Chains A and B, each alone.
Chain A
């Protein structure tokens, strides 16, 4: 099975180093959870994998490694090429695109991702076929079909934005999905619905990295591995029991066990305090 392999990743935003050497490996069909306090670098990892231009990779590698050992250098790809290579990021705060209907955007997106070699201007997926598939997927996710006629994230509630992200995940069926706090801003019922939806969409073909503060999103998506990020590094990895522990007891044990990372966390907070927001608007942290 194909694997997403991250080695020694260092990432800076506006000259400030956020990730300080991250190693992570996710195989297709695996579910990983990434937890950690605010500002520890979780979202930065998501943006770096997707290729946000403001997130500068200063060293390290991100590669897609096929079962036969063929390696593809993700860092050499533009964000759209990464999407076509099968990488997906569900945004914590997705951008509004006024005037562009969700269905039209998604049809273009699905066409490109399923035909990685498509050139600009070539035919899109046939409308009838696309609509049928979209309708079926929306029914599976208990979504109102009219939702797809709305402008992308324009005037959406927090919950609607997250559901739109999950719909995109369902339509694009990426090889690797990074879900950045897909549970934030949702009430308990909505989190449960999101959790069930993700479980439905995932499967043996999809590797999932769930970035979350909470255990609840993992309810239907039991992680193979749980990783804890602190001060820009993954300091500890374990099984599902680690997620349960962090949920109950917080990060005190982790901070005590890894004083260097805890110090790095405080330094990053201080720098952010001096510089204002260290990361671009909408990027999360």
Chain B
């Protein structure tokens, strides 16, 4: 199945001619605290910086070599020509910061300035009420981590990836970089070279985790890249739901976020990965997310993208063995100065595999939302079924929505469906709601909320509430 590992470039998208507008939107998460960074590598990237990052982390030789090799690949690869407009100066970015000397073992150990940031994000409360384990990444390292004892007793590993390199070296090394090799794309190579933080999760055979595991992290240093690296291994018959949420403060200069998320779901296992990302308007959010689902395993991506200057993200499920199932639900909200180039990839690499993509996008105030998706059926994947539904809602005449669905079928006897719709908020819908006493803004927000409801109802409750709040914030002042 080596072919399935190769990059599947989504070529063919027209270059984005739209100049990225610098817009200023007040964001409730737009605050920063003065947490001193203890170590800060100099700006820019070269082999020396990459080696220095590895040294600072006290990594084994194999990881240092992995990083240096990835850096060579990064240098050799051209920038993608499709998708959105990338104006990144790689030498004007900090690639590594370490905010505290040691990782916090308990909440009391976490520095006050960092606590304040999390307080304002509601993390401690969220933890008390909902969390099994918190991995909150502050700048480039996880500063606080906790894991409920019963999880540990079951043999579940939930830690930051740096710790996993030290403490779970054999397990990590077996899978690290196998789902998304550095050669996959330029940004996967960059992440492989300079990665820091992220989550490492191993769920042993037959273990089912009933509550969602959550990670909360944010960027908090000007000109600072964030390159977390997550690896999740769901062993046979195991079950996990991982939730990742991001909010970022707003800065005037460009900032790059380029994560890699690798997931393996073994026979009969089940994994759901839920993300809500709300980036500041200056962030480039270029993320590679891919899962391998083996026999009768199920992988679900639920992906909500708000904010950022440009997001390019196409969560993928490679269905490697018969009976595998992949599902990708995504919401993109593009406002002024924002381009969401988001979508999904389903690769049917074995017979009787099934997949579903549901994508909803909203664009307003000149924002641009693109759906870019791939459904690929490889030779031999008979009896495979996939359906793609993408709906776009455009809130005004300045905004834009595009759909780039790619379908590659190399097998007979398969069933692939594709539906797309583009709609505008109708005057009649607005009038109907307003005739019942809702203001125009309330009516628009309600219509948008209804549009994304089929996806929001899939979110854990507190995330559904947050998603609705974020949508409300995005909608404020959008009409008038």
Report A209 CB to chain B, min CB distance, Å. 15
Interface pair A172/B446, CB less than 8 Å apart: no
Stretch at the interface among B221-229, B289-297, B308-316, B423-431: B423-431
Interface pair B446/A97, CB less than 8 Å apart: yes
Interface pair B428/A113, CB less than 8 Å apart: no
Q: Choose from A82, A84, A94, A100 the contact partner of B446 (Cβ within 8 Å).
A: A100
A-B contact count (CB 8 A): 88
CB-defined contacts of B378 to chain A, threshold 8 Å: none
Stretch at the interface among B61-69, B81-89, B113-121, B447-455: B447-455
Q: Would you call A79 an interface residue if the criterion is a C-beta within 8 Å of the partner chain's C-beta atoms?
A: yes
Stretch at the interface among B159-167, B320-328, B436-444: B436-444
Q: Would you call B110 an interface residue if the criterion is a C-beta within 8 Å of the partner chain's C-beta atoms?
A: no
Interface pair A83/B435, CB less than 8 Å apart: yes
- Cα A105 to Cα B434 in complex, Å, equals 11
Q: Would you call A50 an interface residue if the criterion is a C-beta within 8 Å of the partner chain's C-beta atoms?
A: yes
Interface pair B447/A100, CB less than 8 Å apart: yes
Report A177 CB to chain B, min CB distance, Å. 12
Q: Choose from B435, B436, B451 the contact partner of A98 (Cβ within 8 Å).
A: B451
- Cα A82 to Cα B439 in complex, Å, equals 11
Interface pair A109/B441, CB less than 8 Å apart: no
Interface string of A62-90 (1 = CB under 8 A from B): 00000000000000001110111000110
Interface pair B451/A120, CB less than 8 Å apart: no
- Cα A2 to Cα B438 in complex, Å, equals 24
Interface pair B449/A83, CB less than 8 Å apart: no
Q: Tell which of B434, B435, B437, B451 has the most Cβ of chain A within 10 Å.
A: B437
**Given the interface contacts A97-B429, A280-B428, does A113 sit within 8 Å of B436 by beta carbon?**
yes
**Given the interface contacts A78-B440, A80-B439, A97-B446, does A54 sit within 8 Å of B427 by beta carbon?**
yes
Interface pair A105/B446, CB less than 8 Å apart: yes
- What is the chain A residue whose CB lies nearest that of B446? A100
Q: Would you call A151 an interface residue if the criterion is a C-beta within 8 Å of the partner chain's C-beta atoms?
A: yes
Interface pair A53/B440, CB less than 8 Å apart: no
Q: Choose from A50, A52, A88, A97 the contact partner of B447 (Cβ within 8 Å).
A: A97
- Cα A52 to Cα B443 in complex, Å, equals 15
CB-defined contacts of B447 to chain A, threshold 8 Å: 97, 100
CB-defined contacts of A109 to chain B, threshold 8 Å: 433, 436-438
Q: Would you call A176 an interface residue if the criterion is a C-beta within 8 Å of the partner chain's C-beta atoms?
A: no
Interface pair A280/B427, CB less than 8 Å apart: yes
- Cα A109 to Cα B443 in complex, Å, equals 10
**Given the interface contacts A280-B428, A283-B428, does A79 sit within 8 Å of B450 by beta carbon?**
no
- Cα A168 to Cα B438 in complex, Å, equals 14
- What is the chain B residue whose CB lies nearest that of A151? B450
Q: Would you call B406 an interface residue if the criterion is a C-beta within 8 Å of the partner chain's C-beta atoms?
A: no
- Cα A109 to Cα B442 in complex, Å, equals 10
- Cα A283 to Cα B435 in complex, Å, equals 13
Q: Would you call A282 an interface residue if the criterion is a C-beta within 8 Å of the partner chain's C-beta atoms?
A: yes
Q: Choose from A52, A80, A99, A282 the contact partner of B449 (Cβ within 8 Å).
A: A99
- What is the chain A residue whose CB lies nearest that of B441? A120
Q: Tell which of A50, A83, A99, A168 has the most Cβ of chain B within 10 Å.
A: A99
- What is the chain A residue whose CB lies nearest that of B445? A120
Q: Would you call B211 an interface residue if the criterion is a C-beta within 8 Å of the partner chain's C-beta atoms?
A: no
Q: Would you call A40 an interface residue if the criterion is a C-beta within 8 Å of the partner chain's C-beta atoms?
A: no
CB-defined contacts of A168 to chain B, threshold 8 Å: 436
Q: Would you call A263 an interface residue if the criterion is a C-beta within 8 Å of the partner chain's C-beta atoms?
A: no
**Given the interface contacts A98-B451, A99-B453, does A120 sit within 8 Å of B434 by beta carbon?**
no
Report A97 CB to chain B, min CB distance, Å. 5
- What is the chain A residue whose CB lies nearest that of B443? A80
Interface pair B436/A105, CB less than 8 Å apart: yes
Q: Would you call A24 an interface residue if the criterion is a C-beta within 8 Å of the partner chain's C-beta atoms?
A: no
- What is the chain B residue whose CB lies nearest that of A106? B436
- What is the chain A residue whose CB lies nearest that of B432? A95
Interface pair B433/A112, CB less than 8 Å apart: no
- Cα A188 to Cα B451 in complex, Å, equals 36
- What is the chain B residue whose CB lies nearest that of A97? B450
Interface pair A99/B435, CB less than 8 Å apart: no
**Given the interface contacts A54-B427, A78-B440, A95-B429, does A83 sit within 8 Å of B434 by beta carbon?**
yes
CB-defined contacts of A54 to chain B, threshold 8 Å: 427
Q: Would you call A277 an interface residue if the criterion is a C-beta within 8 Å of the partner chain's C-beta atoms?
A: no
- Cα A152 to Cα B438 in complex, Å, equals 15
- What is the chain A residue whose CB lies nearest that of B442? A120
- What is the chain B residue whose CB lies nearest that of A89? B435
Report B469 CB to chain A, min CB distance, Å. 11
Q: Would you call A281 an interface residue if the criterion is a C-beta within 8 Å of the partner chain's C-beta atoms?
A: yes
CB-defined contacts of A7 to chain B, threshold 8 Å: none
CB-defined contacts of A152 to chain B, threshold 8 Å: 450
Report B445 CB to chain A, min CB distance, Å. 9
Interface pair B431/A79, CB less than 8 Å apart: yes
**Given the interface contacts A105-B436, A108-B446, does A53 sit within 8 Å of B441 by beta carbon?**
no
CB-defined contacts of B428 to chain A, threshold 8 Å: 95, 280-283
CB-defined contacts of B427 to chain A, threshold 8 Å: 53-54, 280
- Cα A248 to Cα B436 in complex, Å, equals 36
CB-defined contacts of A79 to chain B, threshold 8 Å: 431, 434-435
Report B320 CB to chain A, min CB distance, Å. 35
Interface pair B439/A120, CB less than 8 Å apart: yes
Interface pair A112/B437, CB less than 8 Å apart: yes
**Given the interface contacts A100-B449, A120-B441, does A78 sit within 8 Å of B432 by beta carbon?**
no
CB-defined contacts of B451 to chain A, threshold 8 Å: 98-99
Q: Choose from A78, A94, A98 the contact partner of B434 (Cβ within 8 Å).
A: A78
- Cα A50 to Cα B432 in complex, Å, equals 10
Interface pair B437/A100, CB less than 8 Å apart: no
Interface string of B246-282 (1 = CB under 8 A from A): 0000000000000000000000000000000000000
- Cα A168 to Cα B435 in complex, Å, equals 11
Q: Tell which of B432, B438, B440, B452 has the most Cβ of chain A within 10 Å.
A: B432
CB-defined contacts of B442 to chain A, threshold 8 Å: 108, 112, 120
- Cα A281 to Cα B429 in complex, Å, equals 11
- Cα A109 to Cα B426 in complex, Å, equals 19
6 contacts between A and B (CB under 8 A): A91-B435, A98-B451, A99-B451, A100-B453, A108-B446, A280-B428
Tell me the B residues contacting A by CB distance below 8 Å. 426-429, 431-443, 446-447, 449-454
The 10 closest A-B pairs by CB, nearest first: A99-B450, A99-B453, A112-B437, A100-B450, A83-B437, A79-B434, A109-B436, A95-B432, A113-B437, A80-B434
